[in-house]
Amino acid sequence: MHSRVSVVLAIVFAAACASSGNNRSDSPPVTVQVTPLNERSDVYYFSGPIALQFQVAVANPTNETLTLRRLELQTFGSGAFVLRSSSPMNVTVKPKGTTTVTISVWGRALGGFLHSNEPVSLRSTAYFDGAHGGFVKISQEMLQPAG
C-alpha cells in the first residue's frame, strides 16, 4: 500500500512539473532586482512584526512593453527576518529600459543580537504580461541587513 502511494505521488509531481507552462525557456531576458531600503539593523533586535521597504528594479532589454502584474517575495532559511508577501501590481516596464518602484510589506523579525545582522535569502517571483503572452521570472538574492 505504501509503495502505491509513493508511485501516485511521483506521477502527480511529474505531471505538475510538466504542466508548468509559465516557466517557458523562451521567456524574455528580463531581470528583477530587489534591494532593501531599511537602513539600520538594530530594528531587527526585537522579535515581532516589522515594516519592510524594498526597491524593485525591473530591467527590460526587449523591444516590447511589459506589465508587472504580481510580485511575490518569500524568505527561505534563517536570517534577520522572515517574509512571505504577494502584491498585485500594475507597473508598466518600457522597452529597452529599467523601471524602479518602492514597495512596503510586513515581515517578522526573529530578534536577538545574532539574528539582527544575519543575511536573508530572498526569492522573488514576478508575473509579467506582454504582447506575446504572460511569463514568470524567478530570482534569488542574498540580502545583508545594514550594520
Q: What is the pLDDT of residues 7-48, one digit of tens each?
A: 444 444 444 444 344 445 577 899 999 999 866 667 788 899
Does 125 have pLDDT greater than 70? yes
What are the residues whose beta carbons fall under 8 Å from the beta carbon of 110, sequence distance 6 or more? Answer: 44, 47, 78, 79, 80, 81, 82, 118
Residue 114 has what pLDDT?
77
- State the total domains in the chain: 1
Query: Mind spelling out the 3-state secondary structure of the chain?
Result: CHHHHHHHHHHHHHHHHHCCCCCCCCCCCCEEEEEECCCCHHHHCCCEEEEEEEEEEEEECCCCCEEEEEEEEEEECCCCEECEEEEEEEEEECCCEEEEEEEEEEEEECCCHHHHCCCEEEEEEEEEEECCEEEEEEEEEEECCCC
CB count in 10 Å sphere of residue 142: 10
Q: Given this model, what pLDDT does residue 96 score? A: 95
Question: Which position has the higher pLDDT, 69 or 27?
Answer: 69
Q: Tell me, what's the pLDDT at 60?
A: 95
Comparing 59 with 11, the larger pLDDT belongs to 59
| CATH code for the domain of 38 | 2.60.40.10
> Per the domain annotation, does 6 fall within a domain?
no
pLDDT at 132: 85
Classify residue 16: in a domain, yes or no: no
Report if residue 10 sits inside a domain.
no
Within a domain: 98: yes
CA distance 131 to 129: 7
- What's the domain range around 115? 27-143
Residue 141 has pLDDT above 80, yes or no: yes
In a domain, 2, yes or no: no
The pLDDT value given to residue 7: 40
Q: Identify the pLDDT of residue 20.
A: 41
**What integer pLDDT is reported at residue 23 of this predicted model?**
47
Residue 56 lies in a domain: yes
Strand partners, 82: 108
In a domain, 4, yes or no: no
- Residue 66, class by beta-carbon neighbours within 10 Å (0-12 exposed, 13-18 middle, 19+ buried)? buried
The predicted pLDDT at position 39 comes to 64
pLDDT for 11 equals: 46
| C-alpha span between 53 and 101 (Å, rounded) | 10
pLDDT tens-digit profile of 72-116? Answer: 999 998 898 999 999 899 999 999 999 999 999 999 998 887 778
